[in-house]
């Protein structure tokens, strides 16, 4: 069992990091454009499931195309599912504050975006550290690198949303 966890841990990290980065980038872009919270939820969840499916299938196809010598004991279908579910589970983190406040019929304010932002930053750093463990590199460097990449992607999306907000 422990060996199986180690075997698929890179798939968990791969799906989780991409899930957080793309989902929060969508949130930042929509928020930057000053669009509604319902649009954040619609686009965010559409991304989580569609992009999660795409990542899972892509990982399956990549794993399936490896030679037997390289593949070792990895099951390509399991790799795809692990990536998919990691993407969905962790990629939902940035959406949870918006979902909670929407269900409670509370207004979506800058505070809700701040909660989502902080949760995403923590997740970027934690999964960067896990990536460092998987790749046997410096956990701090990996944590800060993933933090930087996720933050940069979010900032880019926010700026693009702000710049294009006049189109809506």
Quick one: pLDDT at residue 7?
79
What is the signed CA dihedral for 107, 111, 115, 116, rounded to 10 degrees? 60
Q: What is the pLDDT along the chain (168 residues), one digit of tens a residue?
A: 555 667 788 888 889 989 999 999 999 999 988 888 889 999 999 999 999 999 888 888 887 666 555 555 668 888 889 899 999 999 999 999 999 988 888 877 889 999 999 999 999 999 889 888 888 899 999 999 999 998 998 899 889 988 998 886
pLDDT at residue number 121 = 93
Cβ-contact 139, 147 below 8 angstroms: no
Q: Is 59:80 a contact under the CB 8 Å cutoff?
A: yes
CA atoms of 79 and 65, how far apart (whole Å):
12
The predicted pLDDT at position 122 comes to 94
Question: What is the pLDDT, as a whole number, of residue 2?
Answer: 54
For the chain, helix (H) and strand (E) counts, in that order, are 7, 0
Q: Are 67 and 46 in contact (CB under 8 A)?
A: no
Both tokens of 67, joined, read: 């030679």
8-state DSSP, 73 = T
What's residue 60's pLDDT?
A: 84
pLDDT at 3: 56
């Amino acid at each position: 069992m422990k060996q199986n966890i180690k075997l698929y841990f890179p798939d968990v990290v791969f799906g989780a990091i991409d899930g957080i980065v793309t989902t929060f980038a969508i949130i930042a872009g929509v928020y930057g454009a000053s669009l509604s919270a319902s649009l954040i939820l619609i686009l965010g969840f559409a991304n989580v499931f569609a992009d999660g499916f795409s990542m899972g299938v892509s990982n399956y196809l990549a794993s399936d195309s490896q030679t037997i010598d390289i593949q070792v004991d990895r099951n390509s279908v399991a790799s795809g599912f692990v990536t998919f579910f990691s993407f969905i589970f962790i990629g939902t983190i940035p959406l949870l504050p918006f979902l909670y406040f929407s269900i409670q019929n509370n207004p979506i304010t800058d505070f809700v975006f701040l909660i989502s932002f902080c949760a995403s930053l923590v997740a970027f750093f934690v999964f960067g550290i896990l990536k460092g463990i998987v790749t046997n590199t410096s956990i701090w460097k990996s944590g800060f690198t993933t933090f930087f990449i996720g933050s940069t992607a979010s900032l880019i999306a926010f700026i693009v949303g702000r710049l294009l907000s006049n189109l809506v």
